[in-house]
Amino acid sequence: MPLLSPAAPAVLISEVGPRDGLQSLAAVMPTAAKLAWIDALHAAGVREIEVGSFVPASRLPQMADVAEVVRHAVTRPGWTVMALVPNLRGAEAALAAGAHKLTLPLSASEAHSQANVRRSRAQMLEELRAIARLRDRVAPGVALEVGMSTAFGCTLQGPVAEDEVVRLAAAAVEAGADEVGLSDTTGMADPAQVRRRFRQVHAAIGRHLGAAHLHNTRGLGLANVLAALDAGVRTFDSSQGGLGGCPYAPGASGNVVTEDLVFMLEAMGLDTGIDLERLMAAREVLRAGLPGEPLHGMTPEAGLPPGFVYADGRRPAGVTTAPEAA
């Protein structure tokens, strides 16, 4: 898997709220509110963020302003701005907007692939090859990631075979992916399964292993993070306030809460580079942009404990450590 530079955090948190979080909501967050939230996340120390998906607005009206959002986000220094692209047309638009990294969804489940992108898995691998050729021709510095949906089970198809996940991961690398991450799209994973599957995929594709995208649907999100850490994963997707889930996977809900994930890792002595107090401030910007939308997370409710110290030795300023108002 990719090695982090000495200046990089020990664990990279990839914030997916502006894409995966917002796409499942009935409400459409105003563009100005999105930009303010993204700026607040940058100020908190987030260094990788998925800001939207290049899909038809008729399918996901929440993403209608994605090009404008990407163009804004890339003006902020020192972070990687990602966009989800389900096809070559989306990749062309994302590159034109200046995205630093493209993420292509590839489902381990044939049923989910048809529901999510209306293509077979074989067709998506061909799409990946076309996007890789485009990237190599016009923007060779842009990273290309595959997020393997339903890698731990599918509510439409049922169990997903481990050897099928490994086969698809290897096929994605062969087709041009720089990284392949595994997603618990439907919240069906358990720690033993997570540890085993990431180890198997790492054995097959080595340094190309990417992020763990885990859900808290059944309360196992952070436990599964620990299992993935044990398997060597060092990049984790999460969503502020726990927003999100796949709109094309029945029962999918509950992304891992960024606030809780950062607190756990920092308390364990693993540097994330994220300031929790500024992250709480970003949460308030999110709340203002989505009034009435429930936000999840235990850390915002409980506050930071007395004596809390960041992994790098810093201590909180104490401004936002009080629990949220009920």
Give the per-residue pLDDT at 247: 52
pTM assigned to the model: 0.92
Instruction: Quick: pLDDT tens for 53-87.
Output: 999 998 899 999 999 999 999 999 999 999 999 99
9 vs 215: which has the higher pLDDT: 215
pLDDT in tens, 156-165: 888 989 999 9
CA–CA distance, 94 with 143 (Å, rounded to integer): 12
Give the fold, CATH level 3, of 12-302: TIM Barrel (3.20.20)
DSSP for 98-124, please give it: T-SEEEEEEESSHHHHHHHHSS-HHHH
Other CB atoms within 10 Å distance of the CB of residue 215 = 29
Domain definitions of the chain by residue range = 12-302
Whether the per-residue pLDDT at 322 is higher than 60: the answer is no
Would you place residue 253 in the very low, low, confident or very high pLDDT band (cuts 50, 70, 90)? Answer: low
pLDDT score of 326:
45
| Residues known to be catalytic | 246
Cα(252)–Cα(155) distance, integer angstroms: 8
Q: Got the DSSP string for 218-278?
A: TS-HHHHHHHHHHTT--EEEEBGGG----TTSTT---BPBHHHHHHHHHHTT------HHH
pLDDT at 319 over 70: no
Taking only the tens place, the pLDDT of each residue in 36-57 is 999 999 999 999 999 999 999 9
Q: Identify the band that residue 21 occupies on the pLDDT scale cut at 50, 70 and 90.
A: very high
Quick one: which of 287, 264, 225 has its CA closest to 40?
287
